[in-house]
């Protein structure tokens, strides 16, 4: 399998908020009290070799961004279970039951608001990637395609959503 990077993230986030330590996940102290990506503005810089790949994207308000969490350490890529968000008050679950970047293939996906396009640069809000993260793909967010009204969440995820206001 060969993945091609189509672009790179530029922002002020230099360190990941969630890291693998001692066989579990842990929030870095400076992120514990705040939303980890709420109002952060990032630039996604697309490789100019992909001429035309962004044409028409400015017609969408939101995008799905798939990126490689390149700062996940080898210990994080070996995790099979963790406490969500490193919170020991939540149950130990399999990594695939979490949205953690610490996983065998640290592919992350997030919906972001597109602020503007300027040539090969997309300015977006809400991207939780760190500076330098490779972009794997971008898709328009389609609420009728990606939204499932009757989707069920685990009790611990509902608790997180309630505590954070959905951030």
Q: Are 71 and 106 in contact (CB under 8 A)?
A: no
* Tens digits of pLDDT across the chain (167 residues): 999 999 999 999 998 888 888 888 887 655 444 444 568 899 999 999 998 999 999 999 999 999 999 999 898 899 999 999 899 999 999 999 999 999 999 999 999 999 999 999 999 999 999 999 999 999 999 998 988 889 999 999 999 889 988 76
Q: What is the largest CA-CA distance in the chain?
A: 48
To which residue do tokens 């149950």 refer?
Answer: 91
Strands 41-46 and 121-125: antiparallel
- The rounded distance, in Å, linking the Cα atoms of 127 and 27 is 17
Distance of CA 61 to the CA centre of its chain: 18
- Written as six digits, the tokens of 40 are 């952060």
User: Could you tell me the residue ranges of all domains in the chain?
Assistant: 7-144+152-164
CA-based nearest residue to 71, from 46, 34, 42, 100: 100
The pLDDT score that the predictor gives to residue 89 is 94
7-144+152-164 CATH: 2.40.30.70
Q: Are 163 and 87 in contact (CB under 8 A)?
A: no
- The rounded distance, in Å, linking the Cα atoms of 4 and 30 is 33
């Amino acid at each position: 399998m060969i993945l091609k990077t189509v672009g790179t993230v530029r922002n002020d986030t230099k360190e990941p908020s969630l890291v693998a330590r001692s066989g579990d996940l842990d929030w870095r102290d400076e992120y514990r009290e705040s939303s980890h990506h709420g109002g952060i503005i990032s630039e996604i810089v697309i490789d100019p070799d992909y001429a035309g790949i962004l044409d028409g994207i400015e017609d969408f308000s939101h995008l799905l961004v798939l990126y490689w969490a390149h700062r996940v350490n080898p210990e994080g890529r070996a995790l099979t279970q963790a406490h969500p968000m490193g919170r020991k008050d939540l149950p130990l679950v399999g990594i695939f039951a979490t949205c953690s970047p610490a996983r065998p293939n640290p592919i992350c996906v997030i919906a972001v608001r597109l602020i503007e396009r300027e040539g090969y640069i997309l300015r977006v809000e809400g991207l939780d990637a760190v500076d330098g993260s490779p972009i794997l793909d971008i898709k328009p967010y389609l609420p009728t395609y990606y939204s499932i009204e009757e989707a069920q969440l685990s009790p611990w995820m509902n608790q997180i959503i309630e505590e954070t206001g959905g951030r």
